[in-house]
Amino acid sequence: MLCGASSHRYEDNIDTHVTPNSSLVYTYNLPSNHLMGTHWYHAHHHGSTFLQVMGGMAGGLLVEPSDAYLSAMDADLRALYTSETNSHLMIMVHHFFGASDDGGGAFALENYQTISGRYTSQSIDPNVVIHDATNANFYSINGQFQPAVSVVQDDVHLLRMVHGGGARVMRMVQQVNANAACVFTLLSRDGVFQATPYPTVTDLVFVQGTRADYAVKCSLTGSSAQTVTLAAVPNTDANWPLGTGNQHTQAVMFTIEVLPTPAGGHAALTLPSAAAALPSYLNDLGSATVEATHSINLGGGQINGVSFPGYEADVASRYQTELCLNKVYQYNLNPPPARRLLRASPTTMGAGAGAADTEDDNVLHRLGRTLLQRPPPGGGGGGGAGAGSAHPYHQHINHFQITSLEGQTALSPDTLREGEWRDVAPSGNLQVRFPTDSFPGEVIMHWCVVRCVLVGLFVLFVCLPVVVRACVLCATTRGYHLPCC
């Protein structure tokens, strides 16, 4: 699956399966007005996403600017994004090969080998050998453990960062060095440029599957090179909007080696300040005419009280909602409190679904041939038992705009900005709008609760399939009381 780039539903098809010892060529046709940006791709087979992504089936994808866009681009932005020396793509992938988390909280993980062993059949044996048990739960960046980026003092570099992990929330913090410090400026998130002024951030925050571009400029005291360390440090503030649970901890994610200016001088790049142009499909929707406004309520393994029937259901029951092409829709996202989520029940891949679908039952949903596990209440996974965590909302095909934070004053630009465009956002009570632009066909919206139980980790928790059709008149309603075409 291609995450972030706007493409046709039949190109971004999460129901595509490639069996072992076979191959499939993916062809993506991006529109000529597609915005340049940082994206990624990964395996998305429900039931084995955890194994495949943690096993390395993921990568970065950069959409390059068109010649016309590049020529009209602000000179400082253009210099930064086209530099071969100052631009760095950083693919962060989570590897969990050590002992399973203790505590049994909602986001506790079993290790890669244990999860693989829960499948009734395996095409390969993971056969992971851990040489250092203290480093068995870690992130690699571009396949390296604790890599270093070298910068010259007062020069500007671009970090194009992809969070290729579906289990943990990531919060990276610069560790104090009395002789060197770096300033991070957020330029883009989820492949869309931020509005100016570009915010300076102290925390590099990534929910599952998100991307961000940071301009970094480092100062140096003295004439000797210094190392600045970026560590994954959980936020323990009970008021932090993302919750204190399910955060990754790692003493060193990567380092920045700050070098003194060479004796012969150095041509430094300039920190961009001018706004980047956005294409028409990313026009501000704050004052747009909204075709319909609706709430999406998540709870009990359902959306608005309706269960997803599965990809193999008949057409009449498969599409809960129909939207009109080239319209603007508003959704009020209302996730449940942690206490309302279902408890987990260990099972074996291939076992049947559970009993009645209530909030107190331990239930596995069958999604076509795939089993999905619902998360239990509480926290864990780095935040301690009882700690909560935001469940990121992800939307395929078209980005959505955060049009209201619904009074969540604790949110900061590190995490979320009102008015920005995202395709993954930390859930909370948010108001979002999106255009059904250019691409008729299926659209999948879901909460990315990636959860480790005995059957593995699954990307989808519950999903709302939407069919977008070209239409003239929207006259009737059904399903979630959205217009049918």
Question: Tell me, what CATH number does 454's domain have?
Answer: 2.60.40.420
Mean pLDDT of 380-402: 67
pLDDT digits (tens, 9 = 90+) for 136-179: 889 999 999 999 999 999 999 999 999 988 788 999 999 999 99
Q: Give the range among 99-108, 365-374, 396-405, 461-470 with minimum mean pLDDT.
A: 365-374
Domains contained in the chain, number = 1
| Between residues 350 and 314, the one the model is more confident about | 314
Is 80 a domain residue?
no
Predicted confidence at residue 408, as pLDDT, reads 78
On the question of pLDDT at 9 being above 60, the answer is no
Mean pLDDT of 423-447: 80
Predicted confidence at residue 6, as pLDDT, reads 55
Predicted confidence at residue 477, as pLDDT, reads 29
Predicted confidence at residue 369, as pLDDT, reads 21
Is 146 a domain residue?
no
| Between residues 415 and 442, the one the model is more confident about | 415
Question: Structural domain of residue 471, as residue ranges?
Answer: 280-484
How sure is the predictor about 10, in pLDDT bands with cuts at 50, 70 and 90? low
Is 52 a domain residue?
no
The DSSP bridge partners found for residue 67 are none
Is 336 a domain residue?
yes
Predicted confidence at residue 320, as pLDDT, reads 62
Predicted confidence at residue 245, as pLDDT, reads 81
Mean pLDDT of 341-370: 28
Predicted confidence at residue 362, as pLDDT, reads 25
Q: Is-above-0.95 flag for pTM?
A: no
On the question of pLDDT at 341 being above 60, the answer is no
Is 51 a domain residue?
no
| Between residues 358 and 224, the one the model is more confident about | 224
| Between residues 459 and 255, the one the model is more confident about | 255
How many percent of the chain have pLDDT more than 70? 70
| Between residues 476 and 425, the one the model is more confident about | 425
On the question of pLDDT at 424 being above 80, the answer is yes
Is 465 a domain residue?
yes
Predicted confidence at residue 301, as pLDDT, reads 59
Is 410 a domain residue?
yes
Predicted confidence at residue 355, as pLDDT, reads 29
Q: Distance from CA of residue 204 to its chain's centroid?
A: 14
Mean pLDDT of 38-65: 84
On the question of pLDDT at 298 being above 80, the answer is no
How many percent of the chain have pLDDT more than 90? 41
Predicted confidence at residue 113, as pLDDT, reads 80
| Between residues 449 and 54, the one the model is more confident about | 54
Provide the sign of the torsion angle of the four alpha carbons 75, 78, 82, 84, taken in this order: positive
